[in-house]
Amino acid sequence: MLGSLIKNCHYCTRMHAESFMKKMYPVYQPSLRGNELKYVNDCLTSGWISSKGKYNSAFEEAFAAYLGVAHATTVCNGTVALHLALLALGIGPGDQVIVPTFTYIASVNAIQYTGATPVFVDSLADTWQMDPQDVQNKCSKATKAILVPHIYGHPCDMKSLQQICRERKLFLIEDCAEAIGSRYEGSLMGTFGDISAFSFFGNKTITTGEGGMVTCHDPQLIEKVKKLKNQGLSDKEYWHDTVGYNYRMTNICAAIGLAQLENIDRFIADKRFVAETYQSAFAGSPLVIHPESPNCFHSYWLVSLLLPQKDLRGDLRKFLKAEGIETRPLFYPVHTMPIYDHLTTESFPVATDIAGRGINLPSYPDLSREDILHIAKLTLQFTKDHE
């Protein structure tokens, strides 16, 4: 009996060790292999840890140079970057801003913050981006701007959207939270609009932990943004002549951002390798990775997978979770959420279909080929078993 107990104990210990040793795959984790520690330690040594210090201006200058825009200013996250962009353009109560329903909630919340009204449009089935024809159909006398999020890193149809804005004299606001490094007809996203917003949350292509950036070509517009992010401070010290906000980035966050930006080309190359390896692994199956249009460069912020039918998604995610693989559902259409469902009675068939059938797979740049093929193999196995 003692021998049997010892044998069982050894078995349990081995099983526990195997379970403990199982590799875990989060949807995303940042790659921090550059000068992040060096620059942060410099902040700590110098004592400049809040919004003042050399790294904010250094990050702004480097980011503007990377994009090829005239002006950039750091902020504390991507949502406030959108809020400031809208406010700087004078958007407020009585105005309408067109936005896709298939987007992250921040794109719509920022419009709501200003007192303006979001007007939802559907998406294109091939790119998953906002449908320019639906944008054209939804324009009215109250429309003031089009807010253009490049979902999951794929660019929107900027030629069509720019034309609508020119013809109707509308502002074009780019939400580049998911699209740093993406290109449309050779030009980087964030260079097409009147003003653009970026996010550097921990799961973004480059991160500052929490943080964002507002960019534009217009010097007067960027000065409005800077004033609003700094409590409405005027030229006179401690004199505030407008209601502003405390939307500044810390010097420590900017230090991390600068270090991350130094490696952006490597990050994007690695992320495209991840997406291309998944695509090869799923070739010939009913599983479809978010496709790249011929005139676009997709940065693949997150690798998104479309399943053949939506009733597979919940069980697949549970199966992968049990194997140590984290996934996320694609964004739920915002018009279906209780805080916004009163704004429209329309249906948005493309957005609803994509949102219901999609998941995000592990997408971080440090995934190896073996990691990706392991995740793909399990995903294919589950799909074949449930055909």
Give tens-digit pLDDT for 317-337: 999 999 999 999 999 999 999
287 contacts 306 by C-beta, under 8 angstroms? yes
Residues forming beta bridges with residue 358, ordered by sequence position: 306
- How far is Cα 181 from Cα 200, in angstroms, rounded to an integer? 13
Task: Decide if 147 contacts 111 (C-beta within 8 A).
Answer: yes
pLDDT at 242: 92
Which domains occur in the chain, in start order? 36-121+128-261 (3.40.640.10), 264-385 (3.90.1150.10)
Read off the pTM.
Answer: 0.93
pLDDT tens for 23-52 read: 999 999 999 999 999 999 999 999 999 999
What's the rounded Cα separation, in Å, for the pair 126 and 143? 27
- For residue 385 the two structure tokens come to 């078993």
DSSP E strand boundaries for the chain: 71-75, 96-100, 117-121, 143-149, 171-175, 183-184, 187-188, 195-199, 212-216, 288-289, 296-297, 303-306, 328-329, 358-361
Q: How far apart are the two ends of the chain, measured CA to CA in Å? A: 47
Q: What is the pLDDT of residue 8?
A: 52
Q: How much is the pLDDT for 11?
A: 47
Low-confidence ranges of the chain (pLDDT < 50): 1-2, 5-6, 11-13, 15-20
